[in-house]
Each structure stands twice: as C-alpha cells, then as structure tokens.
Chain A
C-alpha cells in the first residue's frame, strides 16, 4: 500500500512537471508580452526596457530554471498587467469557480444516479426512453446555446432570474444548470450501461435466488459494483468542470478562474497563466489520486500494490 502510494505520488509529480514544462515553452513561442504591455506607439527602447524588467531578455534556460523554482514554491512573481502577486490573484478567484463547479457537480450527481437506476431497472419502458432522452440532450447541447437560451427564457421573457452576475442563490440557478447538463448526461449514460452489465452477473442471480428485495439488490449489490468505472469519470469530470467552465463563466459574466485564464492568455500575462495552470493541473492530479485510492476502499479485491 505505502509503496504503491509513493509510486503514485511520484507519477503525479511527474505529470505536474510535464504540464508545467509544456506551459512554459508554449507560452514563450506564442508572443512577446512586452509589446502588448507598452502599446503600439511605444519606442523599441521602451519595449526593450520592459523586457529587461520582466526578465524576458534572459536566456531561455535561465528563465526555465527560475520558472521551476516557481513551480516548487508556487510563486511565479507578479502579474505583468496587474502588478499583483499572480498566485494570490488566482487563489482569490478559486472559491468563485469552486462554488459554481461544486453546485453543478452536485446537481449532476443527484439527478443522474436516480435517473440511471430507473432507466436500467425499467429498461425499454417509457421511463428508460425519457431518461435516455435527457442524457442525450445533456450530451449534445452545447453550453453556449443552452446558456443563451435559458437567459432568453428565464430572464428576458419571464423575468424570473437574473441574466448574469453573482449574488444570492438566484444567481446560481441558470449557470449551475448550464454547467451541469454535460456531466449529467455522461454520468447517466455510463451508470446505466454499467448497471445493465452487472444485472447479468452471478451474484445478482444469487441475490435474487435468496429472495432479496429488488431495491436491496439494486442499491446494495448492483449499484456498488457498477459505480467503480463511474467514479473514475466523476474524478475527471470535476477537474474539467473547474477549469472548463470558461464558456459558462463568459456567458453568465461569472467572475471565476476560467475568465481570468482567458484574459491572461490574451494579454500574454505569463505569471498569471502559469499560476492558474499549475493550480488547475495539481487539482486535477490530486482528485484522480484520491479516486484511485478510493478504488481500494470500495472494492477490497483491488489490491493497491
């Protein structure tokens, strides 16, 4: 167990280092931040001055070593554009994104689990068709369309909910539903097919033969076993919900991390991009590590060695 854990942690650190290195080099081939900072009418001397101040005139290897120090200390210096510690700015935005992602994640789980169970138990009945329709729609409808349409209906036509911005619970409803539809569709599809597979297993037949009640069979035996592959998907989904809410954040003017990253990329604000990428990548890796460890807890047959 402990040697497995160490191996997994080392592998995770490698993954983070890989993402960091890729980020570093990709950024440095795209554009020169100094040009964007000083504006079009600046003199070449002025641009050179800014490049020196930002350390962009250093050899690439020197910059890379500096950057790796930043990865270790989680400090990439000040944002070029805002002159504030970049990591601090990212961490300040994190709760705003986390709240939306968690709300969407919760809605997706709470709706998809009963939906998948109903769909699998009453297979090929109208209930299954309705559940499948909902999950297909969740899969197929892009967030930018769903977001814009829900604003038109609930804010403009009906006037029930605010179109955008942050505040009380009313501000959460539309962006949460928009963000939840995709994982909802995914979870439902996967859980339904896993349940259907499990229903054919010997232990389910044994349980039935024992005369167990149907709901105990489904919840106690089938769901527990069908849930393992879904757990992996859930881990990946939460990571992408956090970093991938960009479109939803833009449509609903939600001041989260996604928008900060987009702006930082357009501005070539290296410290800000590096801070957010490292934070998001670490979050992603940690969640997946937890999921891997949970496997052993949920299924004692899987030995973590």
Chain B
C-alpha cells in the first residue's frame, strides 16, 4: 500500500501518511502533492461519469508526505474506497489526457508498453518497484470474448491464466494434464426481488409477508446450485457473503419446505396462486440467468404461481430499473463495493438506491444508523441485526454467492482473489 498509516481525525477528515521514496515510472515523486492533484482531478465535475468517488470533497497537503482527504459527509468506507482509486503521475498528465491515454504512467509493479483496442495490453516489470521487482517479466492481457476460444488458448498453451471459465467445462479442464481450473467465492450475490408496485401489475401479493416467505420456502436454491450450476456457487442467507465486513454466520437461509410454502400461501388467501411476469437477464451478471429463472418458475408452479419468464437485455434492464417499470418479480445481482455491508444493504434496501423496490422503515433506519459511526464495533452488531431482520421479513429471495472461475497452467503459481482482480505481481513461476 502507498499509505503506511491513516486515521480519521474528525467526522469528515482522514489523514494518510505516505510511503517514503516511491516514484512514478517517469521519476516523479509520489508525495502528498501528487495525491492532492489526483483527488482534485477525479472529483472535478464531468471528470468521469462513474460515481464512486462522489462522496469525496477534496484533499489538502499537510506536509510533503502527509495528506488529508476530506469527505462530504461521514464515510466509514473511505479507506476501502481509496483502494479503488488509481493514482497517476501529475507530470505525465501535463501533456493532456489524449497523450496520457497513449502512454499511461502509474507507480505500480508493472509499466505500460503498448495497447491495441479489443486486442491486448502489454506491460513490463518495473524493476524499481518499492515492493521488489515482480517475478514475471512481461504480461500481456488479451481480450478473447468467446469462452470456447479462451479455453482453446489455455489448452494450446497460448495463455497461462484464463478469466471466466464456463462452469460446465470446470471438470474437463481439471482432467487435463498441465492445466487446472480454479474458483473463488465472489462478493456478487444474485437474488430475486419483489416489486409490489410494478406498473406491469400483478405485484400486490408481495405486500404480504406470508407470500414472500412462501416464495423463500418454495424455491429450491440448493437444487439449483447442485443441478444447474454443478455445485459452483455457495448458498447465502442474505445478500452478504463471508468476505464482507458485517457478515453474520449465525443467520441461516430458509429451508426448502413445499408444505410450509403451500400453507403460507393458503393462509394469505392465495391457495390457488396468481400470475406474474418474471424478469431475468438474457445473459449477464448472474450465471445462466435464463435457465435459473426457468428452474425458479418450475418451483413456483408447485405453489400454483404461474411465473412467465421474460429475458431482458442488460442495458434495457438497467433503464427499466431506473424508470421503475420492471416486472413484479425478477432476478438481480449485487456486488456492492469496498467489501463492506454498507454497499450491500444500501444498494438493495435503501429507498435512495435505484435498485430498491421494496422499502421498510425499520431496515432503512438501521442502514442510516450504521453510517453514523466510524467504529467497526458499533457497526458490526447493526449489520448482524439487519441480516436477521431481512431474513425474517423475506424482503427478497437471496440465492447464492457466485463463484468466479479461472483456468491456469501448472507452469505458474497463483491464487484468484474474491474481487475479480488478476494481479500479475502475485503470480510466480511454479517450482
């Protein structure tokens, strides 16, 4: 890390001490002024449209190696946010953005060599890296959009690491000599959401907690994981995964129980079921979204709910979400950011989030409450409470933490990370 220590000095001020002697690839020192410049650049209106640095106000230089970052409000997740913040050489930026894009200069273990859009990016080892020179001298990132081509390239030895291995080829890759399949639990959790007020109609039953609980009991998530995904997923009780701050291992998912589901439906007055439209992705963030939705619809038929699966292309789905015209029932997925429960719960349950379609005052106030403290010991119990409460109220049908799958040749040693990053610095030649 470029910061050696940091602390929050007030509700909005964070002071970071920087590592001594670090330079960018062009020799510019990485000091407090460089950080201030970068924060200013990224918080300028219109800099980029991606909104993740929006809560940051500005930065101030305290001394050459100490910088203060000021947030607009209380922001317990700032240190995590800083890990996603790319720091570039201010000297190199003087030539303008166009020139910089052709020859980007950072401070990391690899230096930029060349880039051909949609084909490859080539980087070479930075021998002067403060953490020591990397073991792999040159790394080429190749864009291979077709999964079977990626697998072929791994089999023929053209590539050494493959991202997004199709789960049905997992065992085949492991059976071959010289290559292996790897997987790691992702923070991304697909789930099914209810939208009682859907303008498409038919969502009213979801105002009844018993119907939502019946759905949770009726959908056989374990069977979907086993039979559809070949076991390459991990059941979750909520949208949290064990890798996220605030996760409570005590909270258990709904067991599959068809009789109980039928009883709950009868109790709610829906013994004969009802009809709904069920949105899913045509392809996209969740594994096998159409097949998954069909499996869910088959389970729902057993409680007399006739769900019509409607595959939607991702861009259209996002627009419908924003215009709040989605179907009363649908598949969605949430990764959050910064490995913190805040990103998860805020994104899926807070009324201010565009992805929230069923709000609850108690849950909202808990989400707001944990944001008022920077103390992990204060926040963790609130998250625990939120997980218990969200399961009890069945606000959604949580499905699983998906697995990120990779292929790798046995000529290298490498362990995949849960955040979807492949860092060549962590790769070493096998003994």
Q: Which A residues have a C-beta under 8 Å from some C-beta of B?
A: 30-32, 34-44, 46-47, 50, 53, 83, 89, 92-93, 148, 151-152, 155-156, 159, 162-166, 250-253, 255, 259-260, 263, 266-268
Contacts and interface: CB of A to CB of B under 8 A. Distances in A.
A250 B156 contact: no
B51 A253 contact: no
B144 A253 contact: yes
B153 A30 contact: no
Contacts of A159: 156
Contacts of A46: 49, 51, 54
Given A39-B50, A41-B52, A255-B143, A156 B355 contact: no
Interface stretch (B115-123, B267-275, B294-302, B392-400): B115-123
Nearest to B317: A31
A32 B146 contact: no
Contact of A38 (B50, B149, B352): B50
B46 interface: yes
Contacts of A93: 117
15 contacts: A34-B49, A37-B50, A38-B50, A39-B51, A40-B347, A41-B337, A42-B354, A93-B117, A148-B146, A156-B156, A164-B158, A165-B158, A166-B116, A252-B149, A260-B118
A165 B319 contact: no
B315 interface: yes
Nearest to B355: A40
Interface string B335-373: 001000000000100001111000000000000000000
B23 interface: no
B113 to A, nearest CB: 16
Contact of B314 (A166, A255, A266): A266
Residue of A44, A255, A267 with most chain B CB atoms under a 10 A cut-off: A255
B318 interface: yes
Given A151-B148, A163-B149, A253-B143, 16 more contacts: A31-B318, A31-B319, A34-B49, A35-B318, A35-B322, A36-B318, A36-B319, A41-B52, A41-B354, A152-B152, A253-B146, A255-B119, A259-B118, A259-B145, A266-B315, A268-B315
List 10 A-B pairs, minimum CB-CB distance, nearest first: A255-B118, A255-B119, A42-B51, A31-B319, A37-B49, A163-B152, A31-B315, A253-B144, A151-B152, A155-B156
Given A50-B49, A53-B46, A148-B148, A156 B155 contact: yes
Nearest to B354: A40
A32 B322 contact: yes
B223 interface: no
Chain A interface, DSSP helix/strand/loop, else mixed? helix
A200 B263 CA distance: 81
Interface of B: 46, 49-52, 54, 97, 116-120, 142-146, 148-149, 152-153, 155-156, 158, 313-316, 318-319, 321-322, 337, 347, 352-355
Contact of A32 (B50, B51, B120, B319): B319
Contacts of B316: 30-31
B145 A250 contact: yes
A267 B46 contact: no
Contact of B119 (A42, A53, A165): A165
Contacts of A37: 49-50
A30 B316 CA distance: 7
A38 B319 contact: no
Contact of B149 (A30, A32, A44, A164): A164
A159 B321 CA distance: 47
B322 A164 contact: no
B184 to A, nearest CB: 23
B149 A267 contact: no
Contacts of B119: 165-166, 253, 255
B156 A35 contact: no
Nearest to B323: A32
Nearest to B337: A41
A31 B337 CA distance: 26
B51 A163 contact: no
A155 B152 contact: yes
A263 B97 CA distance: 23
Given A162-B158, A250-B145, A253-B142, A41 B120 contact: no
Nearest to B117: A255
A303 B143 CA distance: 51
B195 to A, nearest CB: 16
Contact of A30 (B155, B315, B321): B315
Contacts of B158: 155, 162-165
Contacts of B319: 31-32, 35-36
A158 B354 CA distance: 52
Contacts of B352: 43
A156 to B, nearest CB: 5
A179 B267 CA distance: 61
Contacts of A156: 152, 155-156
B142 A40 contact: no
B153 to A, nearest CB: 5
A265 to B, nearest CB: 9
A220 B362 CA distance: 88
Contacts of A43: 51, 54, 352
A37 B46 CA distance: 12
Contacts of A34: 49
Contacts of B353: 41
A152 to B, nearest CB: 6
Contacts of A42: 49, 51, 354
Nearest to A83: B97
Residue of A38, A152, A159, A165 with most chain B CB atoms under a 10 A cut-off: A165
